[in-house]
Structure 1
Amino acid sequence: MDIRSLLGKRVTERIKPSAITEMMILVKKHNAISLTAGEPSSDVYPADLLRESIEKALRDPGILSYYPLSTGITELREWIAEWMKEDELLPQGYGGENVIMTNGSQDGLNLVSEAFVEPGDTVLVENPTYPEALLAFGKEGANFASVPVDKDGPIVEEMEKVLSKGRVKMFYTIVNFQNPSGCVTCDERKRQILELARRYGFLIIEDDPYRYLRYEGNHEGSYIKMAQDEDMVIYLGSFSKIIAPGIRCGFMVVPSKIASQMGELVLATKLSLPAFLQRAVFELLSSLDMKAHLAHLRETYVARRNALDASLADNAVPQGMTYDLPMGGFFIWARVPWLKDCFDFAKYAVLEEHVGVVPGAAFFPDTSSADSSTLRLSFAKTPPEIAREAGLRLGRALEKYRAKCEY
C-alpha cells in the first residue's frame, strides 16, 4: 500500500509550499544576511522579565494541569479586553468573554477558516497579502477573490466590482503596516468597507499584529470598534511581534453570539491551550512597563529601517529599485521594473551575494497575475551595520543579475 494514496485533498491539493519558509532555509544553509523573516529580533525580547514571570507562574502547580476553559485563562483574556478598550480598539460592550486565546495569529486564522469556510466559498483578500493566510483558508477549500491596495488600504471601488459579481463569505485584511505592502487602512476606508459588509453580508477578519510598531504618524481606529454591536468583525491579535514569537500566544475577539461555538471548536481541535505559558504572559504583562517597552521596540526598529533605506538608496535604487518607506511594521515592499522572475533572482542573491529576500510574487493570491518584479525586504532582525551591508549586497546582486540576463 502507498500511504500517500490515503492522504486527503487538504494535503495533496490545497496546501502549497511556503516561499517564505523555503527562502529562510536557503538563507540559513548559505549563511547569508537575512531580509526574509517577518519576525522580531531576539535582542529585544524581554527575556529576563519573562524568566521571572515563568517562575511566578510555576508557584501555582495547578497551572500545569488541563485548564478547564478551552478559551484560555480568564485573567489574561480580561487583561486583553481592558488593554484594547484603553487603546480605543474595542467597543465597551465587549469583555474577556469575547476573547479567545490562540496559539499565535496563524491558529486564529485556522479557527476562523474551520468555523466559517466551506469548500467553494469565496474569501476576499488584499492583493498582495500574507501567503500563510491563503494556506489557512485554502486548505478548507476556499476560492479567492482579490482587491488591490494603495497606501490607504483596499481600493473600495475595486472591491465593490468584485462584490457585485458574486457572493463573498468573508474579507481578510491586515489593517496596519500590511504584510507585505506596508499600507495602513485609513479610517475613512474602514467606514466605506463596513458599509459594503452591511450591504453584501460578509464577515471582516481584521488581522492586526503590527499596530504597536508605528514609527511615524498617529494610530488609526479598528473595524471592530467602528462596527460596535453589529456582528460583522472578528479581530486577530498577537504578542509575537511585541514580546516574542516563541511563546506562541495570540488571541481573537469574537462577537458574543458565536463565542461559545468558537470555544467548542477550540476544545474539539486542541482540547486545551498551554495555560502555563498564558499565565506566564499574564504575569509579564502585569509587571511590564508596556509604554516604555513599546518605545524601545520602535526606537530599535526605526533605526534598522532607516539604515536599510539609506543603503538601498545608495546601492539598489541606482539599479532601478523603487519603494515607499513604511511608517511602521517590518517590511519594505520593493519593485524592480526590469525584473522578470523574482523567484530566480531571490535564489541568485543568496547564492552569489549571500543576502536573502522574499520573492514578491509569493504574496499574490493569483499566481498567474502575480507581479514578478516585486521583493519583500524585512529589516526587523538586521542591526544598522548589518542592514547597510545587506543593502550593499542586494545592489551588487541586482547589478550582476541584470548583466547576466542582458547577456
Structure 2
Amino acid sequence: MPSAAALPEPAHRSSRRSPDRPAPRPSAPTPPVASRLGNVASSPVREILALTARPEVISFAGGLPAPELFDVEGIAAAYRAVLRDVPESALQYSTTEGDPALREAVAARLTARGTATGADDLLVTTGSQQALTLLATALLEPGDVVLVEDPCYLAALQTFGFAGARVVPVPTDDDGILPEALDEIAARERPTLLYVVPTFQNPTGRTLPAARRAAVAEAAARHGFWIAEDDPYGELRFEGEDVLPIAALPAAADRTALLGSFSKVMAPGLRLGHLRAPAALRRACVVAKQAADLHTSTVDQAAAARYLRDSDLDAHVAGVRAAYRARRDAMLDGLPAALPEGSRWNRPEGGMFVWATLPAGFDAGALLATAVGHDVAYVPGAPFFSGTPDPAALRLSFTTHAPDEIAEGLRRLAKTFA
C-alpha cells in the first residue's frame, strides 16, 4: 500500500491553476443598505437594558410589565383549549383582518370604555407597534410632516424615521401637549399626522385632560390632519376618573386611528395589538399588513379570544393595578431622599412611569454609568425629545420590582448624586 505522501493530491486541493481556466475576477460589492436607515437610530432604551441585564441590578429602565403578575395558568389553559377543540383552524392561515371572535371581544371592551366600536372597525396587529407602522405606511410620503409630543415615545420616532417623515415637536407641560402651540405649528407646517399617547404617556406618565383632548380634536378638524392615538396604558388607572379617548369625540371621529394592545394587560409575548380606524384608512392598513406578514399569528389570536371568553380579564387587570399602585407609591415615597435637592417629579394616576427632572447642571445621561456602578439603572430623558433635549430629565419605571426592592433601588440611586 503506498504511503500517504505518495498518494496524488486531490484536484480540489491543488494550488496550481489549469492554463485553460481564467483567473477569478474580483467580486463586485453588494449595494448598501437603504438610505432611510440613516434617519433612524437604534433604541437607547434597548441598549441600556442590555447593559443592565445583571441580576444584581435593580432596573427602573425598562417599560416592562411585571412577569410575576402574568396569568400563566389562564393563558396556558386557553392555548390547551384551542389546540384541543379547534386545532385545524388555530394552526391554519387566517384572514388579514383578524380572528372574528377576538375582534368581537376587543370591540366590546372598547365600547364599554366609551368608544363605540364594532368588530368590523378593527384590524388585529402584531402588537400595537405594527399598527403604528401600518399607519405610517398607509399615510406618509417621504418628507411629510408628523407632529409629536415633546418628549415622545421612542419607537414612534423610529417608525416615522423609517417612513422618511419630517418629525416636528409640539411643546408640552405637566398636563401634556399645549393646544395653542399645536394650533400654531399645524397652521405653519400643514402636517399629515399627529401622534399622541394621551393617557399615562410614555415616557412622562402624563394624562391629557379632557379639555385639551377636545382642543386637539378641533385642531385636527380645522387643519385637516390625521391623529394616531396610542393607548397601551389606558386600563392601568390607579386613581382619578377615566378620560374619554380622542377617538370618541365627534370632532375627531373621522380622522382618528386608535391603537391598543394586550401587552400591558395580558402579556407582551403574545404580540397582539389592534387598530380601530375609519373605513378607508383601515382598508389601506389591511393591504399594508398583507404585504408585511399576511396576518397575525392565528393560534395566538385564538388563544387570546378563548382567554377573554373563559377568564375574567377585568379581575386580572384589577390585581395588576393594585400591585402597580403600591409600587408607584413606594417610588414616590423614596424619591425625596434619592434625588438631589431641587429635583421635581410627577405623580402619575396610572401607567408605568414617573418622569423626574434633576436640578440645573445635572446630566442624567452622563450620570447613568455611575448609577449602574451602584447596581441601579434608569433611562435618561434626553433621547425621548425630538426638539431640544433636556439633559436633566429621566424616566423611572416602577412596575417590575416589589416595593421593598424599589426602596433599596432608590437608596442605591441616592449614591449616584452623593
User: Partner of 1:312 in structure 2?
Assistant: 335
| Structure 1 residue 314 displacement after superposition | 2.3
- How high is the TM-score relative to the length of structure 2? 0.90
- How high is the TM-score relative to the length of structure 1? 0.92
Distance 1:230 1:398, change over 3 A: same
Aligned partners of 2:51, 2:361: CA distance in 1, in Å? 21
Does residue 72 (structure 1) correspond to residue 101 (structure 2)? The answer is: no
**Is the Cα–Cα contact under 8 Å of residues 349 and 397 in structure 1 kept in the other structure?**
yes
Alignment match of 2:363 (pick from 341, 353, 356): 341
Distance 1:142 1:266, change over 3 A: same
Aligned partners of 1:294, 1:356: CA distance in 2, in Å? 27
| Structure 1 residue 340 displacement after superposition | 4.1
User: Partner of 1:45 in structure 2?
Assistant: 70
Give the residue type in structure 1 aligned to 2:399.
A
**Is the Cα–Cα contact under 8 Å of residues 236 and 317 in structure 2 kept in the other structure?**
yes
Alignment match of 1:235 (pick from 244, 254, 258): 258
Whose Rg is larger? 2
Distance 1:195 1:4, change over 3 A: farther
Structure 2, unmatched stretches of 5+, are: 1-26
User: Partner of 1:391 in structure 2?
Assistant: 410
| Structure 1 residue 228 displacement after superposition | 7.1
Tell me the alpha carbon deviations over residues 202-224 of structure 1, each in whole angstroms, 9 at most, x when there is no partner: 00000001111111101000111
Alignment of 1:119-268 (within 5 A): 119-227=142-250, 230-268=253-291
**Is the Cα–Cα contact under 8 Å of residues 149 and 183 in structure 1 kept in the other structure?**
no
Does residue 363 (structure 1) correspond to residue 389 (structure 2)? The answer is: no
Aligned partners of 1:288, 1:268: CA distance in 2, in Å? 34
Aligned partners of 1:64, 1:284: CA distance in 2, in Å? 14
**Is the Cα–Cα contact under 8 Å of residues 331 and 377 in structure 1 kept in the other structure?**
yes
Does residue 324 (structure 1) correspond to residue 346 (structure 2)? The answer is: yes
Give the residue type in structure 1 aligned to 2:386.
P
User: Partner of 1:403 in structure 2?
Assistant: none
**Is the Cα–Cα contact under 8 Å of residues 319 and 395 in structure 1 kept in the other structure?**
no
| Structure 1 residue 103 displacement after superposition | 1.0
Q: State the SS of the aligned residue for 1:346.
A: helix
Give the residue type in structure 2 aligned to 1:58.
L
Tell me the alpha carbon deviations over residues 21-50 of structure 1, each in whole angstroms, 9 at most, x when there is no partner: 011111114741110111100011011000
Tell me the alpha carbon deviations over residues 113-172 of structure 1, each in whole angstroms, 9 at most, x when there is no partner: 111111100100001010110001111101111112223321111111211212101000
Distance 1:111 1:127, change over 3 A: same
Tell me the alpha carbon deviations over residues 168-211 of structure 1, each in whole angstroms, 9 at most, x when there is no partner: 01000001010111111111111111111111100000000111
| Structure 1 residue 66 displacement after superposition | 3.7
**Is the Cα–Cα contact under 8 Å of residues 82 and 90 in structure 2 kept in the other structure?**
no
Aligned partners of 1:149, 1:313: CA distance in 2, in Å? 24
Distance 1:38 1:68, change over 3 A: same
Alignment match of 2:120 (pick from 97, 100, 109): 97
Give the residue type in structure 2 aligned to 1:360.
G
> Root-mean-square deviation (CA), in Å?
1.7
| Structure 1 residue 323 displacement after superposition | 0.4
**Is the Cα–Cα contact under 8 Å of residues 98 and 255 in structure 1 kept in the other structure?**
yes
Give the number of aligned pairs.
391
Give the residue type in structure 2 aligned to 1:338.
A
Give the residue type in structure 2 aligned to 1:192.
A
User: Partner of 1:277 in structure 2?
Assistant: 300
| Structure 1 residue 287 displacement after superposition | 1.9
User: Partner of 1:106 in structure 2?
Assistant: 129
Tell me the alpha carbon deviations over residues 344-377 of structure 1, each in whole angstroms, 9 at most, x when there is no partner: 2112211x211110010011013xx100000000
Distance 1:323 1:57, change over 3 A: same
**Is the Cα–Cα contact under 8 Å of residues 72 and 100 in structure 1 kept in the other structure?**
yes
Aligned partners of 1:178, 1:299: CA distance in 2, in Å? 19
Tell me the alpha carbon deviations over residues 303-341 of structure 1, each in whole angstroms, 9 at most, x when there is no partner: 11111111212232x444210111111101000023443
Tell me the alpha carbon deviations over residues 73-110 of structure 1, each in whole angstroms, 9 at most, x when there is no partner: 111011111111111123xxx41111111111111111
**Is the Cα–Cα contact under 8 Å of residues 319 and 398 in structure 1 kept in the other structure?**
no
User: Partner of 2:19 in structure 1?
Assistant: none
Give the residue type in structure 1 aligned to 2:408.
E
Distance 1:2 1:32, change over 3 A: farther
Distance 1:2 1:20, change over 3 A: farther
Distance 1:200 1:3, change over 3 A: farther
Distance 1:43 1:198, change over 3 A: same
Give the residue type in structure 1 aligned to 2:359.
P
Tell me the alpha carbon deviations over residues 219-242 of structure 1, each in whole angstroms, 9 at most, x when there is no partner: 000111113784210000001001
**Is the Cα–Cα contact under 8 Å of residues 308 and 390 in structure 1 kept in the other structure?**
no
| Structure 1 residue 289 displacement after superposition | 1.8
Q: State the SS of the aligned residue for 2:315.
A: helix
Aligned partners of 2:294, 2:211: CA distance in 1, in Å? 41
